[in-house]
Structure 1
């Protein structure tokens, strides 16, 4: 039985099937992750490890000949995102009061660091 072909019959199955299985497992057997140890606990309860494994597997399926195209497209997106965050940080550093944080009003607590963190 080919599991991948079966999962691909479901629209978005490569992402939805594991998430659904994890939700069912955590609903009916919530202590499973702690029972099996730290790695399995992280895989069952954490979103970041699941996404990391998924991205690793997607990256492993890229052909070496396509690496240049992938780097060109993703590199441009990352550079644009970082440049936009830096420009916004500079603009808000000039607009916000001394100390870089709004003390009162609707935007109380807003700082340049919060803006950059939200953009990156």
Structure 2
């Protein structure tokens, strides 16, 4: 079996940087896998108030506060090629932004390339 000269890339983390990197690699036809230590995409934007540990006894790392709002206008937080809904508050809650990030991953079919846990 001949060895392929095509590059393969491993992205660590399915936060904003990992997801946008994944989209660009996918657009270029480069084979990649995203490794995410938690069960969720969205990185630090995911807020979970009821646990400090995940189902595998790993510490949950989150910087989100329940009532946190973006402190810059949402158009500046748009991910390339995926506009934020126009009906959003100019400074939406972090949880709303988290769902936007999650829908970005789903919209561009990135989930099939992400290995969680």
The structure in which a higher percent of residues are strand is: 2
Larger Rg: 1
- Using the size of structure 1 for normalisation, the TM-score is 0.28
The structure in which a higher percent of residues are helix is: 1
- Using the size of structure 2 for normalisation, the TM-score is 0.29
